[in-house]
């Protein structure tokens, strides 16, 4: 029987301090009502001084514990983040060191809000090929240190939170990941992006002028992103279910990226998915980019919503534009 890959451990971590919309009213010219009505977000966690690999370490240790595995049994680390510890090397190397292991490959990927789905696809292919048996896949972000927390940044800064989620995948002969479908369209790369630092900015990757212009802060065409997110996530969910041999009705739980509650409600409406089958966490955590889906998975387990044997469909959309979906037997 052919090899399959299965998630056997899930863990997550958010920094202890949370900020309500009312706290943000004190920093930015915003209001609780505006944020809740437009996005569904009520609060988010922001670090005091931790960095991305610190959050990732906590989530990874929990995922390893849930998998009943020690770090030295891992064959590879895949780390999705757009808020790395440093410019280079990748944060996967820092995480590897903090886990007390060495030698195994440690890969960073970006892929923004679709980072976890892209990472899942990579892990699945490595495992199915027989090259690696046990893979740690982590999504972690410290957005708060890169947000403009003045009224100038309010359109973006109210949406993002810090957090980490991790899963351990292993080779199995049972059913695990059925199919993961990935897409990207670079024609929209500048509709949701952080321009600096970068080699396309002129003579310097970073300069006082670049900082003065605020090019190191994320920029977004919110309405365009919204429309594409609904369309692309709906399309790719249906496609990946079809390629997995299932229908929407077969799915027990949908784990969507959490960029905006209205996006997820709209996807559910378009596809006629009952509300109770969609597990949302944005109210509590905001958008944690690559951490969102594994963080949601862990919350779903902790609250008894996600149980072994369930058919789970995941979908995400983000900067790039990138989008993807995965269908798994949990």
Catalytic residues: 113, 257, 287
Nearest to 269 by CA among 230, 222, 224: 230
Q: Between 160 and 330, whose beta carbon lies closer to ligand COA?
A: 160
Give yes or no for residue 255 binding ligand COA (CB under 6 A).
no
Among 41, 95, 104, 225, binds ligand COA (CB under 6 A): 225
Task: Give the integer Cα–Cα distance in Å for 92 and 80.
Answer: 9
Return the range that interacts with ligand COA (CB under 6 A); candidates 7-15, 84-92, 116-124, 215-223.
215-223
N-to-C CA span, the chain: 19
**Angle at which helices 32-39 and 261-271 pack, to 10 degrees?**
30
Give yes or no for residue 260 binding ligand COA (CB under 6 A).
yes
* Contact assessment for residue 289 and residue 142, using Cβ atoms and an 8 Å cutoff: no
Among 259, 282, 295, 328, binds ligand COA (CB under 6 A): 259
Show the site string, 116-135: x = touches ligand COA by CB under 6 A, - = not: --------------------
Return the range that interacts with ligand COA (CB under 6 A); candidates 1-9, 130-138, 150-158, 201-209.
150-158
* Range 71-110, binding ligand COA (CB under 6 A): none
- Supply 234's token pair: 């709906």
Give yes or no for residue 39 binding ligand COA (CB under 6 A).
yes
Give yes or no for residue 38 binding ligand COA (CB under 6 A).
yes
**How near is the Cβ of 40 to ligand COA at its closest, in Å?**
9
Task: Give the integer Cα–Cα distance in Å for 163 and 19.
Answer: 13
Q: Between 13 and 256, whose beta carbon lies closer to ligand COA?
A: 256
* Contact assessment for residue 32 and residue 57, using Cβ atoms and an 8 Å cutoff: no
Nearest to 9 by CA among 90, 76, 66, 94: 66
* Per-position b or e across 185-197, b if 16+ CB within 10 A of its CB: eeebeebbbbbbe
Residues in contact with ligand COA by the rule CB under 6 A:
30-31, 34, 38-39, 113, 154-155, 158, 192, 220, 222-223, 225-226, 229, 259-260, 287, 317-318
């Amino acid at each position: 029987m052919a090899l399959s890959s299965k998630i056997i451990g899930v863990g997550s971590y958010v920094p202890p301090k949370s900020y309500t919309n009312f706290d943000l009213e004190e920093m930015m010219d915003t209001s609780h009502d505006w944020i809740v009505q437009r996005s569904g977000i009520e609060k988010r966690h922001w670090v005091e001084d931790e960095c991305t690999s610190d959050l990732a370490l906590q989530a990874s240790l929990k995922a390893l514990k849930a998998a009943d595995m020690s770090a030295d049994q891992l064959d590879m680390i895949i780390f999705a983040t757009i808020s790395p510890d440093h410019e280079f090397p990748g944060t996967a190397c820092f995480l590897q060191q903090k886990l007390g292991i060495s030698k195994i490959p440690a890969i960073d990927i970006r892929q923004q809000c679709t980072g976890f789905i892209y990472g899942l696809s990579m892990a699945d292919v490595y495992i199915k090929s027989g090259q690696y048996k046990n893979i740690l896949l982590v999504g972690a972000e410290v957005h708060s240190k890169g947000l403009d927390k003045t009224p100038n940044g309010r359109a973006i800064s109210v949406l993002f939170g810090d957090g980490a989620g991790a899963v351990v995948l292993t080779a199995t002969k049972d059913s695990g990941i059925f199919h993961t479908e990935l897409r990207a369209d670079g024609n929209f790369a500048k509709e949701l992006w952080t321009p600096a630092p970068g080699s396309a900015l002129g003579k310097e990757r970073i300069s006082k002028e670049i900082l003065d212009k605020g090019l190191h802060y994320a920029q977004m065409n919110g309405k365009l992103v919204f429309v594409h997110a609904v369309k692309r996530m709906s399309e790719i969910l249906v496609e990946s279910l079809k390629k997995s041999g299932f229908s929407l009705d077969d799915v027990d739980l949908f784990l969507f990226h959490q960029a905006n509650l209205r996006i997820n409600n709209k996807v559910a409406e378009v596809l006629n998915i009952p509300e109770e089958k969609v597990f949302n966490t944005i109210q509590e955590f905001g958008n944690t980019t690559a951490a969102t889906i594994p963080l949601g998975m862990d919350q779903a387990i902790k609250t008894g919503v996600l149980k072994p044997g369930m058919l789970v469909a995941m979908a995400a959309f983000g900067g790039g534009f990138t989008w993807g979906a995965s269908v798994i037997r949990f």
